[in-house]
Amino acid sequence: MFLEKVVIFVLFLGPLIFFHELGHFFFARLFGVRVEVFSLGFGPKLFKFKKHDTEYALSIIPLGGYVKMFGDDPFDKEGIPEDQKQYSFNHKGKWARFWIVLGGPLANFLLAFFIFFFLLISGERMPEIKVGVIEEKGKLFSQGLRTGDVLKKINNQKIYNISDVALQKGGKVFSITVERKKSLRTLDVNFQSESFFNEFIKHPPILRKPLLVDEKGKKYLVSEFNDGPRSDESLDMFSVEKKSNKLFLYSFVEGKAENQQLLKKLSIQYKSTNELLNKMVEKEGLYSLDLVVRSVKMGSPADKAGLKVNDIIVSLNNIKVTSFTELKETLQGLPEKPVSLRVIRNGKFKTFSMTPELREINKKKVRLIGVWSLGEYLSLNFVTTESKGFFGSVSIGIYRTWDSIEKTLTGFKKLITSESSLKNIGGPLSIGKVATDSFNTSLSYFFQLMALISVNLGIINLFPIPVLDGGHIMFIFLEIINRGPLSRRKMEIAQQVGLSMLLMLMIGAIFNDFTRFF
């Protein structure tokens, strides 16, 4: 398992590093600079060979790479023999050096474009575009969309990726075709493309399976069908169509989603999921599975108070809750005082008092008690998109690359202005996890993420920090402005400051990884 994750990590990061260094290598050779070493990875060399003037190497630490160019030491320009200066990096003109340095980030942007292009022209395997839980007071609900709707067309054009909404001509969404409970419906709507996109992503497709538990923790299934539950039914979707309130209760056998034993027909009238769950508690003594505690964080308020795994949470400060989401929302709405949590443990009611932990997340104060839900959620179906054709793939590929650049820059801007927490920065472990998760989801997701990280790598390298590509470009422009290179002392100070900043960033990212995973 560990070896598999390492292999996926190397397969994910390797091409990004290779193309970045290849960009430097290409422009160096183009301008006649001798490349002494082309290495993937750092540290001791595992494998190497020499061709012409260049040693090609694979090194042991797969977290980067480097291209060693002849004459790249700015403090040793005079030590280059006259007949060798034509091959020296620092003896090339300013614009030649500019393009050699820019070549790495430029290669990362080109790699992202080509990944998007080949995904688009070959057809991507993508999860269906499903909307999550929509409240009746929400904008999407007022335009006719409902919880669990799957988007099929926008403005009569097939759609496979929600970000493609921004490509709609005129910037408006006037028609949406959705699949709702196996039938297609076309809705007349009135949205600006960006407004619809921003509203849609507020409702991630996290829909609960129709699983309930009794006071002893025994599981049951609820279904709208008397001939066996369906695998695509959700607790959050029973109130979408209010024509019928017929529900059936089944026993639940782990590992068998269908063909469960029918226990009885439920005679419950309801207009919303919350009302349904409240009546399930009152009439049947059954609770939503996501109210069951899956785990308790060590040292958290819940842990100190005595909460345990498999406790069923029923109320907070005597306010009944029907879902884990409702529990979190209720907690945020309470004053900053100790709270009372009522649970069922082995069929008996128990009450615990605790003081929630106050933490700032994305500039918002959030109250946490340190419990995770046992809830189970529907998995998304995958669809294979149609090829966009050559010109369509070029056009959309350029758009997606530029969109990735804009979103990455916006993300960094929020970090710099403290709109976003530095805790969001991830290191090698975070990259490894998302790479493994995306690989296990689908190859399309894996390559899409690779394109996005390639853009991130390109932009990070363009930061005006000495020791990064952007720092070298900054020195070139300062040289143009000053009509000569900076003094050795200034260069040394700048490089030391840049290296310190880079080390601090790396330590912060690694620290975040350890607090996140350990």
Catalytic residues: 21
Token pair 């609960």 is at which residue?
208
Task: Spell out a b/e string for 270-281, using b for 16 or more CB atoms within 10 Å of the CB, else e.
Answer: beebeebbeebb
Instruction: Return d(Cα 352, Cα 305) in angstroms, integer.
Output: 6
Residue 418 to residues 10, 413, 423, 424: CA-CA distances in angstroms? 32, 8, 11, 11
- Beta partners for 47? 58
CA-CA-CA-CA torsion sign (151, 155, 156, 161): negative
Categorise residue 425: left if φ over 0, alpha if ψ from -120 to 50, beta otherwise.
beta
16 and 108 in contact (C-beta within 8 Å)?
yes
The first and second tokens of residue 136, run together, are 């009746």
- Beta partners for 288? 212
Instruction: Return d(Cα 427, Cα 160) in angstroms, integer.
Output: 31
Q: What DSSP element (H or E) covers 388?
A: none
Token pair 């290296």 is at which residue?
499
Residue 244 to residues 115, 156, 209, 220, 272: CA-CA distances in angstroms? 48, 31, 20, 21, 12
408 and 455 in contact (C-beta within 8 Å)?
yes
The first and second tokens of residue 259, run together, are 């063909």
Contacts of 272 (CB under 8 A, 6+ apart): 136, 239
Instruction: Return d(Cα 460, Cα 118) in angstroms, integer.
Output: 25
261 and 269 in contact (C-beta within 8 Å)?
no
Residue 483 phi/psi, 5-degree rounding, is 60, 35
